[in-house]
Amino acid sequence: NAGVTQTPKFRVLKTGQSMTLLCAQDMNHEYMYWYRQDPGMGLRLIHYSVGEGTTAKGEVPDGYNVSRLKKQNFLLGLESAAPSQTSVYFCASSLIAGNTGELFFGEGSRLTVL
Amino acid sequence: SQELEQSPQSLIVQEGKNLTINCTSSKTLYGLYWYKQKYGEGLIFLMMLQKGGEEKSHEKITAKLDEKKQQSSLHITASQPSHAGIYLCGADVESNTGKLIFGQGTTLQVKP
């Protein structure tokens, strides 16, 4: 069972470059999330989606864009990367948020912006 | 997130000791999650609480959501080195909108 898969797992970018992180889930989940994790900051919500074709801003959305064109995929884009976006990014999905079971996480994508 | 405050931020205990981690919000917590993370690794689901007063246990870890659903505690009994890691609480604090946020985490070290 694949669960939640993130690609790429590692990436190094130069300031100003763009890139897209892909999150794919094979559990037919409605809700998908992108978080970033920095030392001492826990997980901070960037954007989330409550269903195909919908997206919403989280706590730290600036500098990021997302798309949910297909139910199983949630893309996180950086249009012009900045060193402040150096972080570990986690994608997660759940059947329905808040009142169901486990929130499933990917293994993380480590991004370094030079 | 400041909407979810975890305390303490870090904790060092001697093996065999009990400990408690708290997760507090000024708002009602919906679908409270507890996760554990080993350094540099992914997140491990521990348990989820929904109802006020609900308590769940898994091995030596017990979590409870208070009656008002504004605070959760995670209690570890007879800690072991395998319990070391970062503990994260997460919840929907906006009435089931799907916006799941997490606290800043509690780093636990267990000394043999």
Among A11, A10, A58, A6, CA closest to A35: A58
Q: Does B24 touch chain A (CB under 8 A)?
A: no
Cβ within 8 Å of B, A 23-82: 31, 33, 35, 40-45, 48, 50, 56, 58-59
Tokens, residue A97: 């948020």
**pLDDT at res. B27:** 87
Burial per residue of B41-76, b for 16 or more beta-carbon CB atoms within 10 angstroms, e otherwise: eebeebbbbeeeebeeeeeebbbbbeeebbbbbbbb
Interface mutation target, options A44, A103, A105, A109, chain B, most CBs of B under 10 Å: A103
Q: What is the pLDDT of residues B63-93, one digit of tens each?
A: 999 988 899 999 999 999 999 999 999 998 7
**pLDDT at res. B39:** 79
**pLDDT at res. B104:** 94
- Cross-chain CB nearest to B100 (options A41, A45, A107): A45
**Taking the mean position of all CA atoms in its chain, how far away is CA B54?**
14
A64 residue type, one letter: Y
**pLDDT at res. B9:** 95
Tokens, residue B31: 């679908």
Residues of A in contact with B105 (CB under 8 A): 40-43
Q: What is the pLDDT of residues B44-64, one digit of tens each?
A: 999 999 888 999 998 999 999
The whole-chain average pLDDT of chain A stands at: 92
Interface mutation target, options A43, A44, A96, chain B, most CBs of B under 10 Å: A43
Residue B90: which H helix or E strand, with range? strand B85-92
DSSP states along A49-71: ESSTT--EE-SS-TT-EEE-SST
CA distance B28 to chain A (A): 12
Q: What is the pLDDT of residues A3-41, one digit of tens each?
A: 999 999 999 999 999 999 999 999 999 999 999 999 888
CA distance A16 to chain B (A): 27
CB count in 10 Å sphere of residue B93: 22
Burial class (CB in 10 A: 0-12, 13-18, 19+), B81: exposed
- Cross-chain CB nearest to A107 (options B35, B42, B97): B42
Q: Is the peptide bond before B8 cis (omega within 30 degrees of 0)?
A: yes
- Cross-chain CB nearest to B31 (options A48, A58, A98): A98
Burial per residue of A61-93, b for 16 or more beta-carbon CB atoms within 10 angstroms, e otherwise: beebebebeeeeebbbebeebeeebbbbbbbbb
For residues B65 and B29, is the Cβ–Cβ distance under 8 A?
yes
Per-residue pLDDT, averaged over A71-82, amounts to: 97
Look at A42 and B102 and tell me if their CB atoms are within 8 Å.
yes
Q: What is the pLDDT of residues A33-55, one digit of tens each?
A: 999 999 888 899 999 999 999 99
Q: Name the closest residue on chain B to residue A108, using Cα atoms.
A: B42
Per-residue pLDDT, averaged over A97-101, amounts to: 56
